[in-house]
Amino acid sequence: MENIESKCGKIKEELETRLANVSDLKTLEEVRIEFFGKSGKITLLVGDIRNVPNEQKKKYGELTNATKEYAIAYFDDKKAVLDHLALVAEQQNSTAYDMSVPSKKKVGSLHPVTIVANEFSEIFKSMGFIVEQGNEIETEYNNFEALRIGKDHPARDMQDTFYLEDGRVLVTHTSSAQNRIYKQYGAPVRAIFPGRSYRNEDVDATHDVSFFQLEGILVDENITVANLLYFMKSVFSKAFGREIEVRLRPYFFPFTEPSFEVDVKCIYCGDTPCKVCKETTWIELAGCGMIHPEVLEMGGIDSKKYRGFAFGMGLTRFATLKYGIKDIRELHNLNFLKQFGLK
């Protein structure tokens, strides 16, 4: 019996070594015959029970059958791997695919926010602005302090701001890039920086935890509010493709003085006031103002010589208005977004 145990062990080992070197189905078939064929090693081993004395037959049967089962399972595993590899190879060599044939279906589309961001970028570029990019993660300094948003300003509240463990923040507005841009370019400078902002809000049809803004700065000598007003009017007229009436409403931002909100005359109202503007006939589209001299100084710009204005437009808001999207959450819905397919 000891003899048969070591015989079984040896055959298992032999099979394992043989299979380890097999890498194609043809050789695998040879191994199958060698072990499981009519006069294969396992077949003979099991069949040899005939020559075993009766009192040992039970034990012999158990041992050899267990060896056979193990061997079959081992062999089948190897076969499954090689079958799979053969299938992959066949697909790769297959003439059923011609990778160079152009696809009939156009896949992919630009997101509505990307579309309006691109449109605005073109408008600003034509007005001599450079297009920059801000960071989505910023220091508290850049997001708040460099914009005169003090330590106890409500905007810093945990309710609004997403803080990282290291104390940095997910930017709450694109103004967070202002300081870096001042330091990088000095004055005079004209730059826009579209980007994503984050606020810890309850999500509903008009609020999201993340939305896109487009920030712009223009710093030069002799810049006044009159320039700002004229500028906003030109930009929105270009964006809507026709002359647009614009008004500045006094507002407060810590980083601009004076500060305003920019409204455009509702483009959807016909003869009667409409729902889009909540029947006010004006739509708020941006915050803006004359950059506070301290903000310029923190950016290394001489505020006695230079003045400037800054504005922050809601790109997400603009996109929903432009395309008549009622619920901001649709901007994450791939099925909904399909309609913006590439032309």
Please state whether 187 falls in left (phi above 0), alpha (psi between -120 and 50) or beta.
Answer: beta
As given in the structure block, the two tokens for residue 35 are 């072990």
Choose, by CB under 6 A, the member of 175, 303, 316, 320 that binds ligand PHE: 175
**Is 143 a residue that touches ligand PHE (CB under 6 A)?**
no
Residue recorded with tokens 């394992």: 16
Question: Cβ closer to ligand PHE: 20 or 226?
Answer: 226
- What is the CB neighbour count within 10 angstroms for residue 166? 7
**Is 120 a residue that touches ligand PHE (CB under 6 A)?**
no
Helix (H, G, I), strand (E, B) or coil at 69: helix
Rounded-to-integer distance, Cα 57 and Cα 47, Å: 11
| Nearest-approach distance from CB 128 to ligand PHE, in angstroms | 19
Non-local CB neighbours of 312 within 8 Å, separated by 6+ positions: 173, 174, 175, 213, 214, 215, 216, 286, 287, 288
What is the contact mask toward ligand PHE in residues 226 to 245, using x (rule: CB under 6 A)? --------------------
Residues 155-174 that bind ligand PHE (CB under 6 A): 173
Choose, by CB under 6 A, the member of 112, 134, 299, 312 that binds ligand PHE: 312
**Is 194 a residue that touches ligand PHE (CB under 6 A)?**
no
Choose, by CB under 6 A, the member of 289, 295, 317, 319 that binds ligand PHE: 289
Residues touching ligand PHE, count (CB under 6 A): 11
Question: Cβ closer to ligand PHE: 173 or 233?
Answer: 173
| Nearest-approach distance from CB 125 to ligand PHE, in angstroms | 20
| Nearest-approach distance from CB 243 to ligand PHE, in angstroms | 24
DSSP 277-302: TTTSSEEEEEEEEEEPHHHHHHTT--
Please state whether 101 falls in left (phi above 0), alpha (psi between -120 and 50) or beta.
Answer: beta
Nearest to 142 by CA among 191, 182, 179: 179
Q: What are phi and psi of 163, to 5 degrees?
A: -95, 145
**Is 299 a residue that touches ligand PHE (CB under 6 A)?**
no
**Is 311 a residue that touches ligand PHE (CB under 6 A)?**
yes
**Is 179 a residue that touches ligand PHE (CB under 6 A)?**
no
Exposed/middle/buried for residue 216 (C-beta within 10 Å: 0-12, 13-18, 19+): buried
**Is 124 a residue that touches ligand PHE (CB under 6 A)?**
no
| Nearest-approach distance from CB 214 to ligand PHE, in angstroms | 10
Stretch that binds ligand PHE, among 59-67, 117-125, 266-274, 304-312 (CB under 6 A): 304-312
Positions that interact with ligand PHE (CB under 6 A): 173, 175, 215, 253, 256, 287-289, 310-312
